[in-house]
Amino acid sequence: MFAEVIIDIVNQDVDRPFSYRIPDALTGAVSIGSPVLVPFGKGNALRKGYVVSLKEESDLAPEKVKEIDSVVEKGLSVEEQLLSLASYMRHRYGGTLYQCLSVVMPSKSEMRSKKPRFLVFLPEKATLPDEIALALKKKHYAKARLLEAFTDHERIPTSIASDRLSVSSATIRSMEKAGLIGIVEEKGSGIRGEVPEAFSGGSGITLNGEQEEAVKTVLSGEKTTSLIFGVTGSGKTEIYIRLIEEVLKEGREAIVLIPEIALTYQTVMRFYDRFGELVSVVHSRLSQGEKAERFMKAKAGEIRVMIGPRSALFTPFRNLGLIVVDEFHESSYRSDQVPKYDAVDLAVKRGEIAGAKVVLGSASPLVEQYKKALSGEIELIRLTKRAVSGSSLPLVTLVDMREELKNRNRSVFSRALREKILDRQQKGEQIMLFLNRRGYSGAVSCRSCGEAVGCPHCSVSLNYHRNGILKCHICGYERPMVTECPKCGSKLVGTFGLGTEKVEELILREFPGLRVLRMDADTTSGKNGHQEILEKFLREEADVLVGTQMIVKGHDFPKVTLVGILAADLSLFIPDFRSAERTFELLLQAEGRAGRRDTPGECVVQTYNPEHYAVIAAKNQDYEAFYREEIKYRKMLLYPPEGAFLCARVSGKYDDSTALAAERLKKAVESRLSPGLVRFLGPAEDTLKKVKDSYRYCFYVKGKELSDILRAKQIAEEEFERIRGSEKVYLTFES
């Protein structure tokens, strides 16, 4: 075996690896990302390097290949750990090493070491309450938050203002300019001890038996990674908090990954309440400088718990003891930019490298991880009941929309849902209506039987193109637009674009008197858009909240007793092997919003596919049943975890030459792989054919073993260099 090793990152030549032989003694000890010592240069001085890939053979003459000296086991600096993670990332997800390094170690810019600074309220004439009222009136919420904090505290550390209170540095600057506040520097070091009492509270909750057991298993279990599979509201967050306490006591640090900051505000606040100034957040709306500053503090040990989406995973903690990935099934953990990495996978890898425990939590785990848990590769921890006594899971009714149509109900509200809406209106209880509009665009379906017109070669629906052609975005199959349903012959076929906005309109028309709030990408564009809508609904300023998947994520609305899912199938037929899993998870989450307190909740699920296993399992709130069916499907089509696949995407400025490059690349890769190991599909136009003036074509490689797929990826990278010549075409991967 041979290993490709990059030697030195200080050198600009980072993208050029060197081949080394792996001596027998080290077989098994060397893996992708391993830090190794290798002889380098004329003098063969030992240098530290990182393994970026493994090969069966080497292109060099045997006598020219040097051997790896040893694997560096212990005492890796945090930079070395992150570098190791970047090499793994490159191997697994593609991209150049430089791209991977910029994800993992985003900012090289040296931050000046800053003395702690404090904000003080200045004006002598204006009173604080007046200023707060004025800010609120002008809807300057961040400003108002900061001013309110001055009512209890004379001085507020800038770090608290930016983290805990989420006030941007721009706002602070403009308030300073206006003479409202001043910034004072403090001599001496460290803000610890200077932080007002109120900012670090305690958690008064005593864990129940299941929770205690979970904590014990994570901490004392042999396995690095644990999967906490717990129904919604079973108290997972309290478990994370306890685990962090334990880790901090040992002098180590913790990272908590959350899907999206705007939608998990309540959760983030719970961590602040418990750990006060030891906590910070990073997210995409911070400037590079702000992010770098927080990372620096983390490295210096001033911050010891970092919370945030994906990129928080790369916090340079020196002594990382725990990584929590909350709601790890969420698709936002899979990056949509090159390199398209999976943060759940990388979290597990970073845990391995750093010797930290990894906890994955969800009420509907990804089948990939659940399979590992069942097989014992990772620890499985089950939480079976809701933590708050008296609250139970909701009662779910499934409505077959084909029956509604037969009974001449053409409304988007089924008779059952309508009845229950009227009932809640009378009782003055709140309602949530969920419509996942995103998955619908372009698919053609039948209103009589509900069938979406699908591809004969792939299990996805065809997409409608403006020129009247239906196309498969996976294999390229196409046919003319249908005039009648291929299954039942009905002429009621077409693209039925029902969106949240339309639903809002229909509620107002069909249920006069109901007050409606809508939450989707269009209504939440402002900085605090999400929160304003959620808070209004919490204050009961509306009876109905209509929205996309944004409304189903983890929010806790005590007064909601009815949840309506208008079209459970919308996400079922999008061209992605995870569509059934995603549908199940969305339905389960949506159902979980009903009856969070002692009033029992009800949920109505409207569907054209009442016999689909994902819909039935969601109705019964039975993950295991879903898993059993889903894994069969994955096995049949060789999708993860029962197989592996890779999508190679070629993009370029010109349609024809890009298509040609994709075709030639596929042929080249195919010719170099032993037949039978993998299967090829395509190339075909990408789902989004043209993005930012660049044309995209992709082909799929599917196989039983991930190693074969990664080998195909490596070959594709090599061949692409040859094929592209001087053509401006690019290659990226997805898996």
Looking at 111, 184, 388, 521, which residue binds ligand ADP (CB under 6 A)?
388
Check residue 553 for interaction with ligand ADP (CB under 6 A). no
Minimum separation from the CB atom of position 482 to Zn ion (A): 10
235 forms part of the interface with ligand ADP (CB under 6 A): yes
CA nearest neighbour of 729 among 696, 685, 681: 696
- Among the candidate windows 164-172, 226-234, 463-471, 651-659, which touches ligand ADP by CB under 6 A? 226-234
Binding part of the chain for ligand ADP, among 95-103, 234-242, 406-414, 512-520 by CB under 6 A, reads 234-242
Rounded-to-integer distance, Cα 33 and Cα 46, Å: 18
Considering CB distances under 5 to 8 angstroms, the limit depending on partner class, which of ligand ADP, Zn ion, none binds residue 234?
ligand ADP
Tell me 394's DSSP state: P
The answer to whether the CB of 644 falls within 8 A of the CB of 706 is yes
| 274 sits near ligand ADP (criterion: CB under 6 A) | no
Q: Which of residues 439-478 bind ligand ADP (CB under 6 A)?
A: none
Per CB under 6 A, the list member of 53, 234, 369, 606 interacting with ligand ADP is 234
The interface region with ligand ADP, picked from 164-172, 235-243, 364-372, 668-676 by CB under 6 A, is 235-243
Question: Which residues, numbered 678-697, are part of the site for ligand ADP (CB under 6 A)?
Answer: none
Other C-beta atoms lying within 10 Å of the C-beta of residue 331? 14
* Secondary structure of residue 535 in the 3-state scheme: helix
Nearest to 568 by CA among 638, 613, 612, 615: 615
Q: Which entry of ligand ADP, Zn ion, none binds 349, CB below 5 to 8 A by partner kind?
A: none
Is residue 609 part of the contact set for ligand ADP (CB under 6 A)?
A: no
Tokens of 581: 């899993």
Choose the binding region for ligand ADP from 71-79, 206-214, 655-663, 705-713 (rule: CB under 6 A): 206-214
**Does residue 485 belong to the site contacting Zn ion (CB under 5 A)?**
yes
Choose the one of ligand ADP, Zn ion, none that binds residue 70, judging by a C-beta under 5 to 8 angstroms depending on kind: none
How far apart CA 255 and CA 554 sit, in angstroms, is 20
- Are the C-beta atoms of 604 and 564 separated by less than 8 Å? yes
Spatial strand order of the sheet with 729-734 comes to: 678-691, 694-703, 644-652, 729-734
Q: Does 387 bind ligand ADP (CB under 6 A)?
A: yes
Binder of residue 446, out of ligand ADP, Zn ion, none (CB less than 5 to 8 A by kind): Zn ion
Q: Convert residues 452-481 into a mask of x (bound to Zn ion by CB under 5 A) and - (unbound).
A: ---x-xx-------------x-xx-x----
Which has the closest alpha carbon to 732: 704, 713, 708? 713
Using CB under 6 A as the binding rule, whether residue 364 contacts ligand ADP is answered as no
Measured from the CB atom, the residue of 38 and 254 that comes closer to ligand ADP is 254
**Closest-CA residue to 504 (of 434, 562, 568, 557):** 434
Say whether residue 205 binds ligand ADP (CB under 6 A). Answer: yes
Shortest Cβ 342–ligand ADP spacing (Å): 22
Tell which one of 17, 33, 233, 439 touches ligand ADP (CB under 6 A). Answer: 233
Taking the complex as a whole, how short is the minimal distance between the CB of residue 207 and ligand ADP, in angstroms?
5
Cβ-based neighbours of 401, under 8 Å, separated by 6 or more: 414, 450, 567, 606, 607, 608
Q: What angle do CA 554, 556, 560 make, to 5 degrees?
A: 120
Residue 678 bridge partners (DSSP): 703
At 647, which amino acid appears?
Answer: C
Q: Is 595 in the site for ligand ADP (CB under 6 A)?
A: no
One character per residue 160-199, x = contact with ligand ADP (rule: CB under 6 A): ----------------------------------------
Q: Is 365 in the site for ligand ADP (CB under 6 A)?
A: no
Residues paired with residue 268 on neighbouring β-strands, in sequence order: none
Q: Which does 610 bind (CB under 5 to 8 A by kind): Zn ion, ligand ADP, none?
A: none
Report d(CA 254, CA 313) in Å as an integer: 10
Among 232, 461, 524, 606, binds ligand ADP (CB under 6 A): 232
Q: Which residues pair with 48 in a beta bridge?
A: 37
Select the binding partner of residue 485 from ligand ADP, Zn ion, none (C-beta < 5 to 8 A, by kind): Zn ion
Residues 60, 76, 207, 637: which binds ligand ADP (CB under 6 A)?
Answer: 207
Which two structure tokens, joined as six digits, stand for 3? 């290993």
* Peptide linkage before 512 cis (omega within 30 of 0): no
Among 563, 593, 173, 230, which Cα is nearest to 386's? 230
- From residue 717, give the alpha-carbon distance in Å to each of 30, 722, 724: 23, 9, 11
348 Cβ partners below 8 Å, 6+ apart? 224, 225, 358
Residue 449 binds to Zn ion (criterion: CB under 5 A): yes
Q: 376-396 as b/e, with b when 16 or more CB fall inside 10 Å?
A: eebbbbebebbbeeebebbeb
Mark the segment that binds ligand ADP (CB under 6 A) among 143-151, 229-237, 336-344, 466-474: 229-237
> Pairing relation of β-strands 395-400 and 602-607?
parallel
Binding site for Zn ion (CB under 5 A): 446, 448-449, 451, 455, 457-458, 472, 474-475, 477, 485, 487-488, 490
Binding site for ligand ADP (CB under 6 A): 205-208, 211, 230, 232-238, 387-388
